[in-house]
A and B are shown apart, each in its own frame.
Chain A
Amino acid sequence: MNDVPGNEAAFGETPVNQTANNQDSGRQAVPHDTLAEETPTGQAPAVHAIASSHSFAARAGRAALALFAALAAWLVPGLGHLLLGRWGRALLFFVAVGGLVVTGYLLRGNVFAPHSGDPFGTLGFVADAGTGVFYYFSRFFEAAGPDVSRAAGDYGTRFIAAAGVVNVLAVLDAIEIATGRRS
């Protein structure tokens, strides 16, 4: 079988020259019983249709999972990773984002409202909204309201915005894991 010099393949592997011969003849290696019904691409129509429907279903499933994980990861930092089975990463994201937000609130940082009428205020709102449910906890932690007249209040504003941006990065990471692009 494999008597071509320099073509010794390990068990289960295809010898290099055999693959080359198949490519030379313009045909992929398929079982003989499907050759009679094969398409120009080298696959039987039924097999091709089943494979493409399976791949479409798999892609649709992955897209739905990615959407669900992204929504969960945005709402509660770390929840998207928890749903994907990455509990260690989920815990780290929750502690880090939660720590940044709560510290920002306790420093009396500014929380931007949705309709500030100012481009920087809108950008600030987008960053703050990235923290998900933590955005709505501001009234609980900041009963006295923000105070940016002190440096600490200004630091708090940066802490909250940084938490939102970091959580958006975590959402993107959850999407990549759900779609199979990352482990």
Chain B
Amino acid sequence: MICSAFILINGVLRLSHLAAMLLFALLVSVVLACLTQRARPGGVKYALWSFALFVLVGVGVAWLMYPISR
């Protein structure tokens, strides 16, 4: 589902909401881990934790907003 959401048509990226959120969470988590942690094991752990929190909070907020979405 996520892979099929990455489609480039005439220079415009077609990205599903979930795929956009996952990509954003991944890239920002990597940078935050790189900025705050100097040791490699701690950095990887921080990046994974940050990514999980991004996704969990994003899905949680989306779930809370679902009743007022339409």
Contact = CB atoms under 8 A, between A and B. Distances in A.
Nearest to A106: B13
A130 to B, nearest CB: 13
B20 to A, nearest CB: 5
Given A92-B34, A166-B31, A173-B35, A151 B24 contact: no
A169 interface: yes
A108 B15 contact: no
B34 A152 contact: no
Interface string A102-130: 01001110000000000000000000000
Contact of B34 (A93, A99, A144, A155): A93
B8 interface: yes
A155 B27 contact: no
A152 B14 contact: yes
B12 A144 contact: yes
Nearest to A107: B13
A107 B13 CA distance: 5
B31 A107 contact: no
Contacts of B14: 152
Nearest to B20: A155
Interface of B: 8, 11-15, 17, 20, 23-24, 27-28, 30-31, 34-35, 38
20 contacts: A89-B34, A93-B31, A96-B34, A99-B23, A99-B27, A100-B24, A100-B28, A106-B8, A106-B12, A107-B12, A107-B20, A141-B11, A144-B12, A155-B17, A158-B24, A159-B20, A162-B24, A166-B28, A170-B31, A170-B35
Interface of A: 89, 92-93, 96-97, 99-100, 103, 106-108, 141, 143-144, 151-152, 155, 158-159, 162, 166, 169-170, 173, 182-183
